[in-house]
Copies of this chain bind each other. A is one copy, B any other.
């Protein structure tokens, strides 16, 4: 499940070359890391990947979709959506990988991409659809389930609790505040009873 549109195993004909998939994503991330989003061009990615332009356009409708998928596959891949019945543990499991990645070398890449995401409505939409959306939904689901269980009061603010970790983490990243190892724990200490 690497390619956004899922695999379309059309019948007949030569199958898509998985080596191309990889080469394209690899090249896209490399170029982005070197030159920023504005410096990415489909032609450049194609050349670097040793691939024809059509081979990219056969997979992605445009640059935004390509980059959204590249970032997802390259640095965002933990698609684990835990649901153990322990809200705090589930939130930790979901968000700690993001904190870790933000503290690593990938942090800068991720932040740079996020910023581009804000500038380009198309890119934002693609990325939210492909990567962020169902995580956000799951966060809300976890909080609501906790209320149902009685672990949170009935009038708890579902949205704010669910968004707490992303909001604080990105706020730190964007404003260059240090992201401590225990940042996530402190956030949850603050917003969970």
* CB–CB A189/B157 < 8 A: yes
From B124, B159, B171, B176, A176 is in contact (CB under 8 Å) with: B124
Q: Which of A132-191 contact B (CB under 8 A)?
A: 157, 159-161, 163-164, 166-168, 170-171, 174-177, 186-187, 189-191
For A186, list chain B residues within 8 Å (CB): 157, 160
Residue of B nearest to A132 (CB): B175
Bound-complex Cα distance A164 to B191 (A): 10
Q: A118 contacts which chain B residues (CB < 8 A)?
A: 111, 115, 174
Residues A161 and B190 in contact, CB atoms below 8 Å apart: yes
Residues of chain B with a CB closer than 8 A to A79's CB? none
- Residue in chain B with minimal CB distance to A190: B160
If A122-B38, A191-B190 touch, whether A163 touches B171 (CB-CB below 8 Å) is yes
Asked if A38 meets B121 with Cβ closer than 8 Å, knowing A167-B167, A171-B170, A190-B191, the reply is: yes
Chain B CB within 8 A of A119 CB: yes
Find out whether the CB atom of B191 lies under 8 angstroms from the CB atom of A119. Answer: no
Inter-chain contacts of A38 with B (CB < 8 A)? 119-122
Say if the beta carbon of A36 comes within 8 Å of chain B: yes
CB contacts (< 8 Å) of A160 on chain B: these are 168, 186-187, 190
| A112 to B55 alpha-carbon distance, docked (Å) | 32
- 24 A–B pairs (Cβ distance < 8 Å), ordered by A: A36-B119, A36-B121, A37-B119, A38-B119, A38-B120, A38-B121, A38-B122, A118-B174, A128-B175, A157-B186, A157-B189, A157-B190, A159-B177, A160-B168, A160-B186, A160-B187, A163-B168, A163-B171, A163-B177, A164-B190, A166-B171, A167-B167, A170-B171, A170-B174
